[in-house]
């Protein structure tokens, strides 16, 4: 079967979902393949935030024949040395994997191209580097060297592992030349790394990867016995099945021998590593396999439907909602070569498409396991309310969604990936915009949730500031996506830009514990966000001010340009300068402005007042300060005015208004 047309449909869907505008189809295909393959390792790695996807796509001049490069630490992709330090600080131990990808849309596996790919990987992993490399690869090299520094990691679980993917749209036929090159690489890397795993991915294999990522696949397991369960409303069918663990691995392990992470999207927490409980599971598998079924709670699987046939059960689109830890331990011991064919497993299989029932099953089967740390943040009522708030909020230039759980909106193809805001993006954007902490906002969400546990996602908070932070992030990200040349020198400082956008629009952040104050403040922000012209003007001011602050930092204060992103002193310099700038602007009361009157109202004392259209915020004027103005039929007409600061509330007001 020729599956290339199916791949092309997925490729087009990817470009539409991520608003990929580049005319370079080769680079677009590399981006698509990198996204597909790396999503099998961490399904929620790529959301509306393109920073990680941009980073792992290293193809271009001086790319060492590597199109995709990623470093995975304790199951998570790293974007920076800061990310690495945050994870090491939390876990005190490390499991590291280096992932390399080369992809071609050509219909054949080329030995010369593969040889260049292997040579580039070898050079990257060696201590000495001979090949020229671009800045993106250099960034990963710095992360690699930091990771392998003996002072960084307290405890290694094992040597770093290496995984290569060579992808083409042809058909893999076990080329002896390319297999020989792969075997030579394994020998060359010696004992410093776990023996590399090298995958030759043809069009059929890539289709399977895409299917697996979307959890659109069927899985069949042979059972020892099954027992149907009683009827439950909202459940099509259900049973308890007994099987051996080697059969279970057919479900949880992909063709390239990694665990199928997409199976665990509805779990309240990811794999917790070899903690004491998981170590006990492993010891039971090794030493007392026959006791496993009486010591383990078993697995719960929800699927669209299942079909029993003799002693075989075939499940359509399965999802493991309880048993994530057990599944990962079974995967680990299986990969180590330990025999799991005598380990009996208890599996509850439930067929339903009812989302309410699925949520009840998730909560019910995981309740006994809950540990109240950051992994369970989105199970709180606040986040459920926030999800509904995003869905219901009408006053927005674009529809965005709070993706509380990974891929929860994948069922709706109308929702683009860039419209989905996950916990990481929301946390980072909110801290930058409403806590004035852009210098720390880019850190890993586990660190942020811990450090700001008493400041964010509080029940007393209005939900609107969180929506505004997400919308501002979306609009800033969309701007960079549509203006790729503007990324240079600015994109990595998005947290600082979010702070400046807020400051230029509405000034210092409000009291978040006052719904009235924070909602009024956010409405002012929304007025700018929902106007393309106003937002473009604010962006321009923010970009210019950031660059001015950076120049002041390096030229006048003689500080390092490399100590900007995570430095609270730079945040203070940046905000002090913008607030001083705004004060100076307010003092220019003799400068005349021209604008259109958009609204006339009467105050509680019977006096005329109104608003004049102005960027970034419309400006208020009152008849007390414009006594000779005729207010009748003034709405819609142009006027001249001066500006001064109201002494009572420090807001800008228009004075001396005259027809213009």
408-439: pLDDT as tens digits: 776 566 788 889 999 999 999 999 999 999 99
Give me 568's structure tokens. Answer: 């609270």
- Asked whether residue 531 carries a pLDDT value surpassing 60, the answer given is yes
Q: How far apart are CA 28 and CA 168, in angstroms?
A: 14
Measured between alpha carbons, how far apart are the two ends of the chain, in Å? 73
Q: Helices (H), strands (E): how many in the chain?
A: 22, 20
Q: How far apart are CA 297 and CA 317, in angstroms?
A: 23
Q: What is the dihedral of CA 595, 601, 606, 607, to 10 degrees?
A: -10
- Confidence at residue 179, expressed as pLDDT on a 0 to 100 scale: 93
pLDDT of residue 48: 64
Segment (H or E) for 251: helix 245-252
494-506 vs 464-482: helix crossing angle, rounded to 10:
120
Nearest partner of 92 among 268, 259, 274, judged by Cα = 274
Tokens representing 369? 């396991």
Please give the structure tokens belonging to residue 595.
């604008």
How confident is residue 269, by pLDDT bands cut at 50, 70 and 90?
low
- Residues 534 and 518: their CA atoms lie apart, in Å, by 21
Tokens 């970009």 belong to residue: 543
pLDDT over 60 at 578, yes or no = yes
pLDDT tens across 60-96, in order?
Answer: 999 999 999 999 998 889 999 988 888 887 776 788 9
| pLDDT in the model for residue 367 | 52
Q: Comparing 29-43, 304-318, 352-366, 602-616, which segment has the lowest mean pLDDT?
A: 352-366
Q: Is the pLDDT of residue 590 over 50?
A: no
Lowest pLDDT segment from 21-35, 562-576, 580-594: 580-594
List, in order, residues 6 or more apart from 422 with CB less than 8 Å away. Answer: 44, 47, 48, 403, 406
**Confidence at residue 572, expressed as pLDDT on a 0 to 100 scale:** 92
Q: pLDDT tens digit string along 372-410?
A: 345 567 877 899 889 989 988 876 788 999 988 766 776
Q: Looking at residue 253, what DSSP letter applies?
A: B
Residue partners of 413: CB distance under 8 A and separation at least 6: 13
Please tell me the least confidently modeled range out of 205-214, 343-352, 501-510: 205-214
At residue 444 the predicted structure's pLDDT band, cuts being 50, 70 and 90, is confident
| Cis-peptide into 339, omega within 30 deg | no
The tokens describing 347, both together, are 């599996």
Residues 249-277: what's their mean pLDDT?
Answer: 78
Tell me how far apart the alpha carbons of residues 595 and 660 are, in angstroms, rounded to a whole number: 8
Pairwise CA distance, residues 471 & 429, whole Å? 9
Burial label, 15 (beta-carbon count in 10 A; 0-12, 13-18, 19+):
middle
State the average pLDDT over residues 243-252: 93
Contacts of 440 (CB under 8 A, 6+ apart): 431, 448, 451, 566, 568
Q: How far apart are CA 137 and CA 115, in angstroms?
A: 19
Choose among 455, 453, 498, 451: nearest CA to 474. Answer: 498
pLDDT of 608 above 80: yes
> To the nearest whole percent, how much of the chain has pLDDT over 90?
43
The strand ranges marked E within 48-194 are: 68-73, 76-77, 96-103, 161-167
CATH for 593-659 is 2.40.50.140
Q: Which pLDDT value is given to residue 280?
A: 87
Asked whether 529 and 472 are in contact (CB, 8 A), the reply is yes
Tokens of 359: 């949520």
Q: What is the pLDDT of residue 31?
A: 94
Mean pLDDT of 334-363: 85
Res. 114 pLDDT band, cuts 50 70 90 = very high
Q: Is the pLDDT of residue 577 over 80?
A: yes
Give residue 256's pLDDT: 77
In terms of residues, how long is the chain? 660
303 beta partners: 351
pTM, two decimal places: 0.67
| Nearest one of 182, 184, 163, 185 to 172, comparing CA atoms | 182
Angle made by CA atoms 24, 26, 28, in degrees to the nearest 5: 70
> Which residue shows structure tokens 């807020």?
502
- The domain ranges of the chain are 4-213, 218-369, 380-581, 593-659
Residue 659 β-bridge partners: 639
Contacts with 334 (C-beta within 8 Å, 6 or more apart), sequence order: 245, 246, 249, 253, 340
And the tokens for 515? 């719904």
Count other Cβ atoms within 10 Å, centred on residue 401: 19
DSSP H helical ranges for 435-514 = 438-441, 445-451, 464-482, 494-506
DSSP state of 315: E
CA distances from 485 to 273, 284, 473, 481, 490 (A): 41, 56, 18, 9, 10
586 pLDDT more than 50: no
Q: Give 447-482 pLDDT, tens digit per residue.
A: 899 889 888 999 889 999 999 999 999 999 999 988
Mean pLDDT rounded to a whole number for the chain:
86
Residue 267 pLDDT class (50, 70, 90 cuts) = low
Nearest C-alpha neighbor of 451 from the set 90, 47, 146, 94: 90
Q: 632: Cβ–Cβ under 8 A, 6 or more apart, which residues?
A: none
pLDDT for position 545 = 93
Average pLDDT over residues 123-135: 94
What is the pLDDT averaged over residues 204-219? 84
**Residue 585: per-residue pLDDT:** 43
Query: Among 46-55, 64-73, 79-88, 308-317, which range has the highest average pLDDT?
Result: 64-73
- In this prediction, residue 370 has a pLDDT band, given cuts at 50, 70 and 90, of very low
Q: How far apart are CA 320 and CA 122, in angstroms?
A: 38
């Amino acid at each position: 079967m020729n599956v290339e047309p199916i791949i092309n449909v997925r490729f087009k869907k990817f470009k539409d979902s991520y608003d990929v505008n580049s005319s370079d189809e080769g680079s677009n295909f590399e981006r698509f393949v990198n996204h597909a393959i790396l999503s099998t390792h961490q399904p929620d790695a790529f959301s509306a935030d393109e920073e990680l996807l941009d980073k792992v796509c290293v193809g271009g001049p001086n790319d060492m024949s590597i199109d995709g490069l990623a470093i995975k630490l304790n199951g998570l992709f790293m974007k920076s040395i800061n990310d690495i330090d945050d994870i090491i600080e939390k876990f005190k131990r490390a499991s590291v994997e280096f992932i390399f990808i080369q992809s071609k849309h050509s219909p054949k596996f080329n030995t010369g191209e593969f040889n260049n790919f292997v040579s580039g990987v070898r050079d990257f992993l060696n201590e000495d580097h001979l090949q020229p490399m671009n800045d993106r690869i250099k960034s990963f090299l710095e992360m690699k060297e930091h990771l392998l520094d003996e002072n960084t990691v307290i405890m290694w679980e094992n040597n770093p592992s290496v995984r290569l993917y060579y992808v083409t749209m042809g058909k893999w036929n076990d080329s002896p030349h390319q297999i020989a090159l792969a075997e030579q690489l394994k020998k060359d890397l010696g004992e410093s790394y776990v023996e590399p795993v090298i995958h030759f991915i043809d069009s059929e294999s890539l289709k399977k990867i895409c299917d697996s990522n979307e959890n659109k696949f069927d899985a069949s397991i042979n059972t020892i016995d099954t027992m149907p369960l009683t009827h439950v409303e909202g459940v099509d069918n259900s049973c308890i099945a007994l099987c051996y663990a080697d059969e279970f691995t057919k479900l949880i392990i992909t063709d390239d021998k990694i665990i199928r992470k997409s199976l665990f999207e509805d779990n309240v927490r990811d794999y917790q590593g070899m903690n004491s409980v998981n170590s006990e599971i492993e010891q039971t598998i090794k030493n007392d396999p026959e006791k496993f079924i009486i010591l383990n709670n078993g697995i719960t699987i929800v699927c669209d439907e299942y079909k029993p046939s003799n002693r075989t059960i075939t499940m359509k689109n399965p999802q493991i909602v309880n048993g994530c830890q057990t599944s990962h331990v079974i995967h680990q011991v299986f990969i180590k070569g330990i025999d799991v064919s005598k380990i009996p497993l208890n599996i509850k299989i439930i067929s339903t498409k009812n989302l309410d029932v699925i949520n009840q099953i998730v909560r019910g089967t995981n309740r006994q396991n809950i540990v109240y740390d950051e992994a369970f943040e989105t199970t709180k009522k606040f986040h459920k309310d926030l999800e509904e708030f995003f869905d219901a909020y009408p006053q927005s230039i674009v529809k965005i969604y709070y993706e509380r759980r990974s891929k929860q909106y994948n069922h709706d193809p109308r929702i683009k990936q860039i419209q989905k805001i996950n916990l990481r993006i929301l946390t980072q954007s909110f801290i930058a915009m409403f806590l004035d902490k852009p210098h720390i906002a880019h850190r890993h969400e586990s660190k942020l949730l811990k450090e700001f546990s008493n400041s964010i996602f509080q029940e007393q908070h209005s939900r609107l500031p969180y929506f505004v932070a997400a919308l501002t992030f979306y609009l800033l990200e969309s701007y960079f996506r549509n203006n790729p040349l503007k990324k240079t020198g600015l994109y990595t400082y998005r947290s600082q830009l979010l702070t400046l956008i807020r400051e230029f629009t509405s000034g210092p952040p409000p009291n978040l514990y006052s719904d009235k104050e924070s909602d009024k403040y956010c409405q002012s922000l929304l007025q700018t966000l929902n106007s393309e012209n106003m937002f473009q003007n604010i962006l321009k001011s923010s970009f210019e001010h950031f660059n001015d602050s950076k120049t002041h930092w390096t030229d006048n204060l003689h500080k390092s340009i490399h100590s900007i992103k995570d430095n609270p002193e730079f945040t203070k310099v940046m905000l002090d300068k913008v607030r001083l700038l705004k004060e100076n602007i307010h003092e220019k009361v003799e400068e005349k402005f021209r604008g259109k009157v958009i609204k006339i109202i009467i105050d509680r004392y019977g006096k005329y007042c109104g608003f004049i259209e102005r960027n970034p915020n419309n400006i208020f004027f009152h008849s007390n300060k414009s006594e000779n103005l005729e207010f009748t039929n003034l709405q819609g007409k142009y006027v001249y005015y001066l500006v001064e600061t109201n002494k009572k509330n420090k807001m800008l007001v228009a004075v001396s208004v005259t027809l213009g």
